[in-house]
A and B are shown apart, each in its own frame.
Chain A
Amino acid sequence: MSDEFEHKIETKADTIADAGSVTSGSTAGIDYVPAHERPDQELYHSHSWWTTYVFSQDAKYIGIQYALTAIGTGLIGLVLSWMMRLQLAFPGLGILEPSSYYQFITMHGMIMVIYLLTALFLGGFGNLLIPLMCGARDMAFPYVNMISYWAFLLAVIILLASFFVPGGPTGAGWTLYPPQAITSGTPGSSAGIVLMLISLCVFVAGFTMGGLNYIITMLQSRARGMTLMRLPLTCWGIFTATVLALLAFPALLVGCIMMTLDSLLGTSFFMPAMISMGEHLSYDGGSPLLFQHLFWFFGHPEVYIIALPAFGIISDLISVHARKNIFGYRMMVWAIVGIGALSFFVWAHHMYVSGMTPWFGYFFATTTLIIAVPTAIKVYNWVLTLWRGNIQLTLPMLFSLAFIVTFVNGGLTGIFLGNVTVDVPLSDTYFVVAHFHMVMGIAPILVVFGAIYHWFPLITGRMLNEGMGRIHFWITFLGSYAIYFPMHYQGFVGVPRRYFEIYDSPYIATSTLHLNVFITIAALIVGAAQLVFLFNLIYSARAGEKSEKNPWKANSLEWLTPEMPPGHGNFGKELPVVYRWAYDFNVPGADKDYIPQTVPPSEVRSAKVEKT
């Protein structure tokens, strides 16, 4: 403790000395940056093949491991969705049993939300980008970071193992509500659910190791001059999402542990007295609603754990490819932080018709609609960034534009569901399915694609093929809009979600079933387009066009490494020194249309920079 303190004093003294010497120099103090607060990080150097390529401690490499594992798992989720869609469109073919349908929606939902998107945004992009964007050599704790990935892999393996246990995986829905999750009317109610719960616990443990790393790295290892308000918004998004995750996941963890105990030891945390298959069970006195509160106290922030990194990334993509500073940077930061804070006060909007006291409805409807305000501001700022920009319709930009359309659509239907009265007829119908797929399924996935097209050269040194990329873009964007836009109308009709089969119902026009066929065909086409993308990834990684350094002419540090792809330790001998924010595009008076963060003011004296 006291050691550290002395060290701080020392560096303070350094700073003053530094500043003094600079003022006397020719650059007249305009290039002033505070001195290092701590000595350069001592890096772990790998010596064997195993520690380089398998048990790597290099965040960039861990990020790629995370991303590939997440994408691989996500592909399983995608295949499950095809089977479900085929069943819904062609119930006569007998493609699935009811029990497998329910197992598939559960695994699909959980895989997509947790094991694909959460892992990809935080574990994947977080690891890849945080040290690079902050100007650090690596994460603060590389060893723990490595463990985090292996815990994630273990969680995935446990999850997938549940396909092979007696009874199969759980079919309780991704919300895992008790009592049905652990009683025999639900598929996978013994081994399947327990594996799911254990897998989630392992995931949370692994994530916590990674998450502490992301936060501490961003707080402690930023380059000289990289103030918090100079960080790219990607970092802000990931930072806030990680804080949310560290606060929200414990609720999930205790929920999972208690349910495991209910299931294995016969405790009654969530289990009331009830009857199952004609027999009284021995449970008594537990509260199913308690689980729902725990689940959604995690589950709602979870939406933002996915959305905030997506918001951050998209802001950076739009700014770079529109060659314009992000509009209202400070407002964007506050909106991210504000949304993050508010997201802990809205969870029960998932429970308006859960049977909790209806008086909660007033409070949670109000908080939910308040959150719409900072969210709307973000949308305005994205389109205002395009306004009077110089828009390059590159693939990342196309995906960003598609994201805006999809996100605005899904965000606005969220206002329907958040407004408690409107939620009553629409909850648990296909309107909800359409809404959350738009806003937390398709929209973040579009960001993922945009980000991959954008940062692929940073990872491989090659560009992704543009032609294939455009095919992939148009089919994915228009196709998924065609899947989910009409689906809202099934919800208006009143078609309930989680229905294995809808039958002919007096109130459901037969044409609703035709709509199902259309949606399924669109889903299959969109799925097929992902093969183009996968092919493009593999092909371009080997034979793609070689990328120049900083191919998009961006300002942020990840593009300013001495080599591309960046080597071990990221920045060569000297860590970068930062003089400005990441958004100095088209500054009046500057000769080029961008000024990287490392360019000192003395080199661009004629540029009339406003925000630094």
Chain B
Amino acid sequence: MFPLIVAHIFVLIIVASVAFHFWSPWWWTPVASNWGGMDDTILLTFWVTGAVFIAVCLFMAYCIWRYRYQKDRKAEYKPEDKKLEFHLTWLTTLGVIVMLAPGLVVWHKYVTVPEDALNVEVVAYQWGWKYRLPGEDDILGKTEIKFISDENPFGLNLKDPNGKDDILVDSGDLHLQIDKPVKFLLRSIDVLHNFYVPQFRGKMDMVPGHVTYYWLTPIRTGDFEVLCAEFCGVGHYAMRGRVIVDDEKNYNQWLAQQITFEKMLAQNKIDNKSLKLVKNIE
């Protein structure tokens, strides 16, 4: 009796897991970037691994019941079965290849940035986000952490002429234009952070002293939340931001309202206003 119950409970675990998968309300948000391929790879992995999980567990449940202890049963004595082991090995290898190959193809796309992508710099600090876009010259000026000051919160190199027209978004939301590829250049001025918008799928840590990157193309307009996805101190959970994907008209309108580095420098000098460099969370 007990073996039968145990076998049933194991079957029930499988049934419940599958049911949970299909009927639970929790699933990923609709994708808002070109990285639908990541979702597809997850699904592929899901089917392959799900099948293995179900097969192994059901087989186990079957054994529990079918080979339950009986005093006069003789277990089989067969230390090895080379043929079976061989078949299982190549079958597993095949399954692994089926999952890995498409994954690597998508990864290749992820790390190969299209030529025409717009460079957008994201600067992370404890605990918030700032953004910098290239000005008319399409080139971002050079930066260094040691140049950062109240007057120059992005740490732009004053000697680099390319930086003068850079557009700075010191507080506020980042806007992106739909269907235009962007390359995020990720920078941190203090500790590790990670620029993550769940609907975009992409992710990359920001490392002080390095510029890391990833790229994407937004495919639908809307208002998205930015989360920090690498632990960065007590304010980590509150390090949120906003990205808004606009159509061309709204995007250009927004862009026109932003100030350039030159203007900011002038302003900061005139008002002698000290912009608070590091904002603590309230």
Contact = CB atoms under 8 A, between A and B. Distances in A.
Tell whether A and B belong to one assembly: yes
B69 A393 contact: yes
B266 interface: no
Give the contact-size bracket for chain A: 35 or more
Contacts of A219: none
B264 interface: no
Given A180-B191, A328-B80, A376-B92, A391 B202 contact: no
A98 B194 CA distance: 19
Contact of B45 (A361, A415, A478): A415
A587 interface: yes
Contacts of B69: 323, 390-393
B139 interface: no
Contacts of A412: 49-50, 52-53
Given A493-B198, A499-B237, A611 B207 contact: no
Nearest to A372: B96
Given A185-B232, A383-B60, A355 B208 contact: no
Contact of B237 (A383, A390, A501, A587): A501
Nearest to A278: B278
Nearest to A180: B191
B13 interface: yes
B192 interface: yes
Interface string A493-528: 110101111100111010110010000000000000
Given A280-B146, A481-B13, A416 B45 contact: yes
Nearest to A371: B96
A332 B86 CA distance: 13
Contacts of B74: 390, 586, 588, 593
B52 A408 contact: yes
A419 B28 CA distance: 18
Contacts of A325: 77-79
Given A355-B207, A420-B104, A585 B231 contact: no
Nearest to B150: A278
Interface string B231-244: 11111110000000
A308 B186 CA distance: 39
Interface of B: 2-3, 6, 9-10, 13, 17, 20, 24-29, 35, 37-39, 41-42, 45, 49-50, 52-53, 56-57, 59-60, 63-64, 67-70, 73-81, 84-85, 88-89, 92-93, 96, 99-100, 102-104, 106-107, 110-111, 125-127, 144-146, 148, 186, 189-192, 194, 196, 198-199, 201-210, 212, 223-225, 227-237, 276-278
Given A177-B192, A583-B79, A588-B77, 8 more contacts: A185-B234, A288-B208, A327-B79, A393-B69, A408-B57, A420-B103, A593-B75, A610-B78
Interface of A: 98-99, 102, 171-173, 177, 179-180, 183, 185-187, 272-278, 280, 287-289, 322-325, 327-331, 353-355, 358-359, 361-362, 365-366, 369-370, 372-373, 376-377, 379-381, 383-384, 386-393, 398, 401, 404-405, 408-409, 412-413, 415-416, 419-422, 424-429, 478, 481, 485-486, 489-490, 492-494, 496, 498-502, 505-507, 509, 511-512, 515, 583, 585-588, 593, 608, 610-611
19 contacts: A180-B231, A185-B232, A186-B233, A272-B207, A272-B208, A274-B145, A280-B145, A329-B80, A353-B204, A372-B96, A386-B60, A390-B70, A416-B49, A419-B100, A425-B28, A493-B29, A496-B196, A515-B26, A611-B80
